[in-house]
Structure 1
Amino acid sequence: MAPTWLASQPACFKPPVLPSNPGFCAAAATSDTVSGIFGPVGAVPPVVPPLVRNLHEYHDRRARLIASLPPNSAVLLPSAEIQFKSGAVFHAFRQETAFLYLTGFCEPESLALLVKTDNDYVFHLWCRPKNPKQEQWYGPWSGVDAARDVWNADEAGDIGRVEYELGKALRDVTRIYTDAEITKHGSPAEVACMRRAGQASGRALTNAMRQSWRYEKDLASFLEYEYHKAGLEGSAYIPVVAGGQKALLIHYVLNNGHLNEDEFVLVDAGGEYGTYITDITRTWPVNGKFTPAQKDLYEAVLSAQRHSISLCRENAGMTLDKLHSVTETSLRDNLRQLGFDVGGNRMDTLFPHHVGHYIGLDVHDVPGYSRGTALREGHCITIEPGVYVPDDDSWPEAFRGMGIRIEDSIAVGEEHPHVLTTEAVKEVVDIEALRDS
C-alpha cells in the first residue's frame, strides 16, 4: 500500500511532562569526547541548544509522539534552509521549530525521519558529511558520525544520498506525517530556559529604564548588547521601541525616531536562550517621572494586568480567551473611572488586540493551537493588556495620544502563576526610583 501523505496532525504532537532538572539548561556540552567527534579536541563545536546536555529530553519527545501515532506511520521533517538577506549576505540560521523540538539538531541541509515499529521507533537523520575544506569557510558542523553518536540517531546518512535511501526507510510505512504542530505544555527543562531568558531580559529592560534616552535606535541597541552580555543568543524578535504616539502602532519596528522627555516610550522586547524566547513589554516616561495623567492611565492598565496574572493557574479553570474577557472588563471599569466613554464597541479601539498568546520556541507558539484550550500547569503564555488612545476629541483630553502596554511571560502553575520576567520592574514607585539611585 502506498504511503498516505498528510498535511498536518496536531493531535499527535504532545510534549512529555518531565521531572525538574535544571541541568537541562546548562551550557552546551563541551567535553573532550564531544569535541573530538566534531573535530580536533579543543576545536569549537557547532551550535547546539542548551538542552543538549541531556538528550533524553528529545528522545522522550519523540517517544511520546510515536506512541500516539497509528501503526505503520512515520514522521518526516526537513530542516530549515539558510535565508538570504541580499545576494550572498545571509541571515543567522534558525532551525525549523518542529525539527528542533524533536531532534535538537541545529543545522541546515538535514532531514529527520521517525518510523514507528512494533514497540518503539527508528530515528533516521540525514545531514551534511564532514568536509574540512568547506568547514574552513563556514565553520564546523556535526557530520554523519556525530548524528549517530551525539544526536542519538539510530540510522544516520549523508543528505546527498537521501533520495536513494529514503524509499528503503519508508518501505513498510503506509502513512506519513509531514507538518508537525506541537501542543504547548512545557516540560520543566523548557520552562527553565524561558525563565533564564526572562530573567536576563527583564534585567536588561530595568537597566534601560535607569537611563535617559534621546533616540529609539540607541535604546534598542542597548537591549541587544545587554542580552549578549548576559549569555543570551540575542533578540527573540525585532523589538518595538516606540516613543510618544508611535506607541499607538502595535507592531511599530522602525525604531528610528526621537524620544521626547515629556512622553512615554513603549518597549516590547525580549531575548532568547536555547532558542526559547521571552516576551516583555514595559512603558515608562522618557524622563523617568510620571505626570498625574500618565500615572492614572498606567495604573489602569497595570491593575488589569495584575488581576489577570493572578488567574494564570490551573485551578482557576481559565483559558486565554476567558482571560481576555476578564482583562477587557477590568480595563473598561478602570477607564470609565477616568472619564472614558467605553460604551458600545469603543473598547475595540482602545484595546484592539488579544490579551495573550502561547510562547516557547516561537514568539506565537504554536499557530493553530486554540486560545480556548483550558490552561494547565506547564502552559507558557503572555499577559499583555494595553490601552491606545487616539489623538482626537472622542477621548478625554489628558490622555490623548498615549499608548501603554504592560506584558509579562507567565508559566501556568497548579495553584499559582510563575512570572518568568519579574526582573523587569513595572510599579510606578519602582520605575521612578531607578533614576534616583
Structure 2
Amino acid sequence: MILYNNLKRFYSIGKFADRLPYTLGQALNETRPNLIKPGDITAGITAQEYYLRRLKLLDKLPAKSCVILPSNITRYASGSVFYKFQQNTDFYYLSGFDEPNSLIILEKPNDNLEESLFHMLVQEKDPFKEKWEGARTGTENSYNFFNADEVYDIKNWKPYLEKILKSSEKVFFNIDYSFSTFANDEIAKVINDSGKTFLNYKRIISENRLIKSEDEIAIIRKCGQISGRSYNEAMAAKIQSEKNLQAFLEYKFISNGLDSSGYIPVVAGGPNALTIHYTINNDIIRDDEMVLIDAGGKFGNYTADISRTFPIMGKFSEPQRELYEAVLDAQRECIKVCSQVVSGGVSFADLHNFSRELLYRNLQQLGGFKDLEKNIDVLYPHHIGHYLGLDLHDVPSISMKEALKENSVITIEPGIYCPADDSFVPKHYQNIGIRIEDNVALLADGNYSNLTVEAVKEVVDIENVIANGTNRSMSESFLKPLI
C-alpha cells in the first residue's frame, strides 16, 4: 500500500498554484503545464505507468532482493564546458527522474509487492550551485513529485546502501563502462564489502522495456509524424549545403513540436552516402546528386529514426531511380511481412535474411553486377534494423536471433552502397548510396503500424514534394492529421 498511497499523493499536487514557490530540476506539470499533462511525470507517461514498471520488474525477482540503479553523471568536454546531460535509460524508465548524480534502489522485502519500497537518493538543493548549474529537485520535492517511499541526500549514499544490503539476500546491479554512471566502482565495492555478490539485472529490465505500452507507442508515433512532415519540408527546401539542410531539418523538428534531434543526423550528399554513419555534414550537394538523410526528432526521451534518400533538385536520374526502386521494393516487402512475424516466430535475423534475398534478386534483375552473390554483403553491409525506444538502438541485450514480440517497435532499413572504381559495380551505379527507413510497431493479432508513414518515399511523391512544396496533393498517408 505504500507505493499506492504515494501514487495518490502525486495526483493531489495539482492543487498548487500556476507558479510554485520553488524550482525543480526538470519539467513537471506544476511548473511546465505547457509540456506535461496533469498526472504525467514525463511527457506522455503517467505516474501510474512508472509505478507499474517498477512492480513489473520486482515481480520477476525473489523476495529479500534489491535492485540498485545509478543515474548518469554530467560529462565535460573541456574545463567547465559540459555536454548536454543524457540520463541512464534504465534509471529513467523506472523513475522518470532526469537529473545526474542520483541513485534509485528498488527493495522487495517479501513476496507481497505492495510492501516493496522505492528509494531515491538525489542531490540536495544548494542555492549557490543552482545559481550556476541550474535548479535541482532536492529531497523533499523528489518525495512529493516522484512517489518515492524514502528519499535521502546522495552525499550519504554509502551508509544508506549498506543498511539495505544487510536485509537483502539477492542484489541486482549492473556495471557497464560504456556509460558514465554515478559511483559505479564504489557501489560495486560496497556490495562486495558487505559479503554479497551482485547479479546483472540488464536482461530482466530489457525484456520489460522491449514490450511498449500504448502510451510509449503513441509518443514514438508523435515523433514519427512530426519528423516525417519535417522531412517533407526539408525535401521541398532544395538546400544544397549539408550543414544548412541539417539545421533546417532540426529547426523543423523543434518548431513543429518535438524537443530536439534524437541523435546526430546523417546528411550525406552524393558519394558521402557511402559512409554509413557520415555525420561531419559539411559538404556541398551538387545539382545531379542525391542526399541521404538519417535523422529523427525526439520527444519525452523517445525518438523517431527515419532515413530517406532523394535527388536534391527533384528529379531522379535513370540509374538513381533504378537503384532506389530496388531498395524501396525490398523495404515495402519487409514492412508487409510484419503482419506475420510475431505469429510465425520470425526473428530479426530472419527478417534481415529476407531483406538480403530481396535486394539480391532486385540487383540481379537490374543486371551488370559481377559476382553478386559474393559481393551482396559489400553492397548491403548493415542489418535490416533494430529495436527502438528510449535508446535509439534499444535493448541491445535482446538477441537478433530471438523471435520478434508483440508490442515492440522496430526499424526497417535496407540499403545499397555502390563504391566507385570497383569492377563488380556497373559504372552508372557507382558512388550512389541509398537507404530507406521506417519505424514499425508490431501490434496484436497480426496488425502493425508504420509510425513514420508521413515521410514520403514513393518516387512520384518525392518528385512532387520537391517540385511543388508540401501543400499540393500527394499520397493519402501524408494527409493524415498530426496527433
Aligned AA (2:68): L
Check whether the contact 1:197–1:232 (CA below 8 A) recurs between aligned residues.
Answer: yes
> Could you say which residue in structure 2 is the equivalent of 1:324?
352
* Structure 2 residue 430 is matched with structure 1 residue 400: yes
Q: 1:30 to 1:91 in 2, by over 3 A?
A: farther
> Could you say which residue in structure 2 is the equivalent of 1:171?
166
* Structure 2 residue 78 is matched with structure 1 residue 49: no
Match of 1:369 among 392, 395, 398: 398
| 1:295-334 → structure 2 map (5 Å cutoff) | 295-313=321-339, 314-334=342-362
RMSD: 2.1
What is the DSSP-based 3-state SS (H/G/I as helix, E as strand, rest coil) of the residue aligned with 1:301? helix
How far apart in 2 are the matches of 1:100 and 1:349? Answer: 38
Q: 1:189 to 1:91 in 2, by over 3 A?
A: same
> Could you say which residue in structure 1 is the equivalent of 2:373?
344
Check whether the contact 2:364–2:372 (CA below 8 A) recurs between aligned residues.
Answer: no
Check whether the contact 2:441–2:450 (CA below 8 A) recurs between aligned residues.
Answer: yes
> Could you say which residue in structure 2 is the equivalent of 1:25?
none
Aligned residues, how many? 408
How far apart in 2 are the matches of 1:158 and 1:44? Answer: 25
Aligned AA (2:366): L
* Structure 2 residue 120 is matched with structure 1 residue 92: no
5+ residue gaps, structure 2: 1-12, 175-200, 469-483
> Could you say which residue in structure 2 is the equivalent of 1:157?
152
How far apart in 2 are the matches of 1:55 and 1:43? Answer: 16
> Could you say which residue in structure 1 is the equivalent of 2:243?
217
Check whether the contact 2:18–2:30 (CA below 8 A) recurs between aligned residues.
Answer: no
Q: Percent identity?
A: 42
Match of 1:256 among 254, 261, 282: 282
How far has the Cα of 1:143 moved from its partner? 1.3
What is the DSSP-based 3-state SS (H/G/I as helix, E as strand, rest coil) of the residue aligned with 1:113? strand
5+ residue gaps, structure 1: 1-28
- What do residues 112-132 of structure 1 show as CA deviations (whole Å, max 9, x unaligned)? 000112212111001012223
What is the DSSP-based 3-state SS (H/G/I as helix, E as strand, rest coil) of the residue aligned with 1:382? strand
- What do residues 173-227 of structure 1 show as CA deviations (whole Å, max 9, x unaligned)? 0221112422211111111111111111111111101121221000111111111
| 1:15-414 → structure 2 map (5 Å cutoff) | 32=16, 36=20, 38-39=22-23, 49-52=42-45, 54-118=46-110, 119-120=112-113, 121-179=116-174, 180-181=201-202, 182-183=206-207, 184-313=210-339, 314-339=342-367, 340-341=369-370, 343-392=372-421, 393-414=423-444
What is the DSSP-based 3-state SS (H/G/I as helix, E as strand, rest coil) of the residue aligned with 1:36? coil
How far apart in 1 are the matches of 2:30 and 2:334? Answer: 50
Larger CA deviation: 93-102 vs 343-352: 343-352
How far has the Cα of 1:342 moved from its partner? 5.1
Aligned AA (1:355): I
More RCO (CA 8 Å, sep 6+): 1
Which of the pair is proportionally richer in helix? 2
- What do residues 312-356 of structure 1 show as CA deviations (whole Å, max 9, x unaligned)? 232343211111011111111110010023543210111001001
Aligned AA (2:284): H
How far has the Cα of 1:254 moved from its partner? 0.5
Larger CA deviation: 152-161 vs 335-344: 335-344
Aligned AA (1:175): K
How far apart in 2 are the matches of 1:254 and 1:65? Answer: 40
Check whether the contact 1:411–1:419 (CA below 8 A) recurs between aligned residues.
Answer: yes
What is the DSSP-based 3-state SS (H/G/I as helix, E as strand, rest coil) of the residue aligned with 1:261? coil
TM superposition score normalised by structure 1: 0.89
How far has the Cα of 1:394 moved from its partner? 2.0
How far apart in 1 are the matches of 2:452 and 2:395? Answer: 21
How far apart in 2 are the matches of 1:158 and 1:334? Answer: 61
Aligned AA (1:85): A
Aligned AA (2:450): V
Q: 1:42 to 1:79 in 2, by over 3 A?
A: closer
TM superposition score normalised by structure 2: 0.81
How far apart in 1 are the matches of 2:453 and 2:251? Answer: 20
How far has the Cα of 1:39 moved from its partner? 3.7
- What do residues 259-306 of structure 1 show as CA deviations (whole Å, max 9, x unaligned)? 011011000001111101111000000111111111111000000000
How far apart in 2 are the matches of 1:39 and 1:279? Answer: 34
Check whether the contact 2:18–2:31 (CA below 8 A) recurs between aligned residues.
Answer: no
Check whether the contact 2:109–2:168 (CA below 8 A) recurs between aligned residues.
Answer: no
How far apart in 2 are the matches of 1:193 and 1:103? Answer: 17
- What do residues 7-40 of structure 1 show as CA deviations (whole Å, max 9, x unaligned)? xxxxxxxxxxxxxxxxxxxxxx987369637549
> Could you say which residue in structure 2 is the equivalent of 1:9?
none
Larger CA deviation: 91-100 vs 308-317: 308-317
